């Protein structure tokens, strides 16, 4: 990770760009939370398809062309996730911070290090 200040747009700025894109095409009428959730699921499945039948799915195994395709599928997933969060007025960064804290409590490092079992299987 770089210690340089990021020039990347914020999630809010990306949501604004997506909302403008949608508004220019009058697609807002289709972007209900249910439809956005379905679209997100479809795009996640399209992402997964690139890894189907691969040994590990590493960058080397994927190859440059497929890595590019994966990056576009990831962009689709992120786009629908951002649009859904905007529709439901959910602060994704705050939600992620909260989820990390919950997972820290569920999966204490000293208990789970190197073990991939579900939290309820550690007791």
Q: Quick one: 26 and 74 in the same domain? A: yes
Give the count of domains, the chain.
Answer: 2
Note down the domain range covering 61. Answer: 11-90
* Cα Rg of the chain (Å, integer): 18
In a domain, 2, yes or no: no
Q: Quick one: 15 and 62 in the same domain? A: yes
Q: Quick one: 104 and 116 in the same domain? A: yes
Q: Quick one: 31 and 82 in the same domain? A: yes
The pLDDT score that the predictor gives to residue 2 is 53
Yes or no: say if 79 and 18 are a contact pair by the CB < 8 Å rule: yes
The pLDDT score that the predictor gives to residue 3 is 59
Q: Quick one: 106 and 57 in the same domain? A: no
The pLDDT score that the predictor gives to residue 27 is 97
In a domain, 1, yes or no: no
The pLDDT score that the predictor gives to residue 120 is 86
In a domain, 118, yes or no: yes
In a domain, 96, yes or no: yes
The pLDDT score that the predictor gives to residue 100 is 97
CATH classification of the domain holding 86? 1.10.287.1080
Q: Quick one: 44 and 80 in the same domain? A: yes
In a domain, 4, yes or no: no
Q: Quick one: 33 and 83 in the same domain? A: yes
In a domain, 3, yes or no: no
The pLDDT score that the predictor gives to residue 9 is 86
Yes or no: say if 18 and 24 are a contact pair by the CB < 8 Å rule: no
The pLDDT score that the predictor gives to residue 86 is 95
The pLDDT score that the predictor gives to residue 119 is 85
Residues of the chain with pLDDT under 70: 1-6, 123
């Amino acid at each position: 990770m770089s210690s340089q200040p990021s020039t990347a747009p914020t999630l809010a700025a990306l949501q604004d760009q997506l909302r403008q894109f949608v508004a220019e095409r009058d697609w807002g009428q289709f972007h209900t939370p249910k439809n956005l959730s379905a679209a997100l699921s479809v795009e996640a499945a399209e992402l997964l398809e690139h890894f189907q039948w691969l040994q590990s799915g590493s960058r080397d195994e994927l190859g440059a062309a497929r890595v590019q395709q994966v990056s576009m599928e990831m962009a689709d997933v992120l786009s629908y996730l951002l649009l859904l969060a905007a529709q439901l007025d959910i602060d994704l960064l705050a939600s992620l911070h909260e989820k990390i804290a919950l997972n820290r409590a569920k999966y204490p490092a000293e208990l789970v290090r190197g073990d991939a079992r579900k939290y309820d299987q550690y007791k």
